[in-house]
Copies of this chain bind each other. A is one copy, B any other.
Amino acid sequence: MYTKGLHIISTIHTKSDRHLTDVQVFKEKVNDFVTELSLTSVGAVFHDFEGGGFTAVVCLTESHLSIHTWPEYNRITLDVFLSNNSRNNEDRCRALHDRIIEQFEIEKIETENILR
């Protein structure tokens, strides 16, 4: 039986553009989180926009996370979606989301949780 997985969709306004322009810093952190939470990457894209923000996606056997940053607007869009194919990953999904957002100076965050 298929058990719906949690997809957390957050749009974040930050106090400054700090950490919104360097994908390498994000890459190191997120790879640590993936390992720490016993998730499995099957491929990733980390892309720096020249003079701008970055886009990163990590594909996981458990689904994916994606992030887009707009330093010019102090804005981040973050998705963390973990399915429950071999075990329940809801706590891991929330933990991964929370570890990522802790990297930024959050002013306001709008979050939707979708079970799918």
Q: Which stretch of A14-22, A27-35, A72-80, A95-103 is in the interface?
A: A72-80
Each complex incorporates copies of this chain amounting to 2
- Whether A66 and B68, one on each chain, are in contact in the complex, defined by CB atoms closer than 8 angstroms, is no
B-chain residues with CB within 8 Å of residue A63 when the two chains form the complex? 55, 68, 77
The answer to the question of A47 belonging to the interface, with a C-beta cut-off of 8 Å to chain B, is yes
A-side residues, CB < 8 A to B, are: 2, 7, 9, 11, 42-47, 49, 55, 57, 59, 61, 63-64, 66, 68, 70, 73, 75, 77, 79, 81, 83, 85, 110, 112, 114, 116
**Which of B11, B44, B66, B75 touches A64 (beta carbons < 8 Å)?**
B66
Taking CB as reference atom, which chain B residue is nearest A9? B114
> Could you list 10 further interchain pairs (A-B, Cβ under 8 angstroms) beyond the known A9-B114, A43-B47?
A2-B73, A43-B45, A45-B57, A45-B59, A47-B59, A49-B61, A57-B64, A63-B68, A66-B81, A112-B114
